[in-house]
Each structure stands twice: as structure tokens, then as C-alpha cells.
Amino acid sequence: MSVFFVLVYTASQLLPTSVASTVMAVSPLTMVLIAWPLVSERPRPAHLAGAAIGLGGVCLMLFTGVDGVSVPGILASAAAMLMSSFGYILAKRWSAGADVLASTAWQLTAGGLFLLPVAAAVESPPPALPTPTLLAFCYVTLVATALAFTAWFTGLRHLPAGTVGLIGLLNPVTGVLLGIAFAGESLTVQQLCGLLLVLAGVALGQPRRASRRDGGQAHPHPASDERPAQAPAIPRPSAADGCEATGPTTTRRPAT
């Protein structure tokens, strides 16, 4: 968690927002491949097809000729993607019986505490921050980190890793749209085609509701030999046997 945050913020300083987000969107395929040996979740064809289509959209969005794309930034973003994908699957495997909120809080707290001495040794003390910057830090801490990771790990608890990873393909869509809205970045036709492919990949990889032929119930008589045996018919006694019939029930009386 500590190294992931360092790498992802390094990539955000070296890369445009859209490029950094699209590199992180390679995570679905990585999660599908890692989940197979670690949590025994075999990749579904829909997951692989959705990841392939989404990666095609990622490539269209990434290779757009954006100025200022640095190789160290790409490497930092790719390393953050690999580490986070591996960590997500480990969290899914190790925290199956733990409370999601407690597990997420301990991961984030431990990661932050580990970074404190490193930051104190490498960087200078934090400067005085104005109110807008403090509000931005509060948003990143509470919404973009605490709430987002809690929702993410909750999804991993209840859904296959491939399904949750494919939803992560929406990262480049969000990154590009936020870059256009707040960073003054432009949207090209190639990026627009990439966005459409990403959305198609996410829709393709979502689970479908399977039809229930039997309504979830077993057949009442699955085999003829399993049917309850019927009681043998009891012959009705007659007067010749010394009995007198008196309706539905038969009473044995001495014959006169």
C-alpha cells in the first residue's frame, strides 16, 4: 500500500491525467490472471473478451500523441498497477472472514505510518497549506481513498475479481473527462473511440443472470425407482369368509 501510493502520485506528477489513468486500466487483465492461481477463480470468456476490448480502448486512448509523456512516468504507473492488482487479490484471499471496513482501515493506516519516517528523511516538513489545499486533502483522504477503497474491497468480497477489475476500466473514462473539465485537456476522436471501446468491454464482462430451468427445486420424482411404494391392496372380505360388509369399513362378525 505504501509503495503503491508513492508510485501512483509519482506518475500523476510526470504524466497527464488521462495517460496515467489509462495505464492503470490494464489492471483488469492482470487481476484475472493473478486471481486464477491465488483464489482459484478461473477466467471466464466474457472477462477475457471484455478485458481485451477494454485494453484496445486503453491503447487508443494512450497512444494519442500527447506531449509530455515520460518513460519514468509510464514505468511508475505500470508498477503501481501491478502492485495494486496483486495486493487486491491478496486482500480477497486473506481477509475473507474480516470486517471490510476494519481491514481497509488497517491497510491504509499501516501504509501511511510506514511512509512517515521515509517522508521525514527524504523531504522537508510540509509547508503551511491554504484552505483550498486543505479541503482538497480532506476530499482525497475521505472520499477518494477511504470511501473508494472500502467500496472496492466490498466489491471484491462479493464478486469475482474479473468482474470488479472490469469495472476499473472506467478509470480512463473518468480520468479523461476530469482532465477535460478541470485540467484543460482536449478530447480527440481517437480518444473518443477508445472510450467507447472501454464502455463496451465493461458491459461485455458483466455477469448475466442465468436462467433457472427448475426454479432451484429438485424434481419430485427424479427416478421411477425412487417413488414411494404404494401399499398393497387389501382384499375386501365377503360373506363367504364369515364377514359382513357395513360400508367403507368392514367389521368381522360371527356368521349366523
* Each residue's pLDDT tens digit, 45-103: 887 888 888 888 877 876 666 566 788 988 998 999 999 899 888 888 887 778 889 98
CA-to-CA distance for 7 and 23, rounded, in angstroms? 12
CA-to-CA distance for 180 and 191, rounded, in angstroms? 12
pLDDT in the model for residue 83:
92
Q: How confident is the model at residue 251 (pLDDT cuts 50, 70, 90)?
A: very low
Residues 13 and 1 sit within 8 Å (Cβ to Cβ): no
Q: Name the amino acid, one letter, at 79.
A: A
Q: How confident is the model at residue 195 (pLDDT cuts 50, 70, 90)?
A: confident
What cell was used for 160?
469475482
- The answer for residues whose C-beta is within 8 angstroms of residue 108's C-beta and 6 or more apart is 1, 145, 146, 149
**What does pLDDT average to over the chain?**
77
- The answer for residues whose C-beta is within 8 angstroms of residue 1's C-beta and 6 or more apart is 87, 107, 108, 110, 111
DSSP states along 218-240 = --S-SSGGGSPPPPPPPPPP-GG
Burial of 80 (0-12, 13-18, 19+ CB in 10 A): buried
Q: What is the pTM of this model?
A: 0.66
Going by C-alpha positions, the residue among 53, 27, 75 that lies closest to residue 35 is 27
CA-to-CA distance for 151 and 145, rounded, in angstroms? 10
Q: How confident is the model at residue 166 (pLDDT cuts 50, 70, 90)?
A: confident
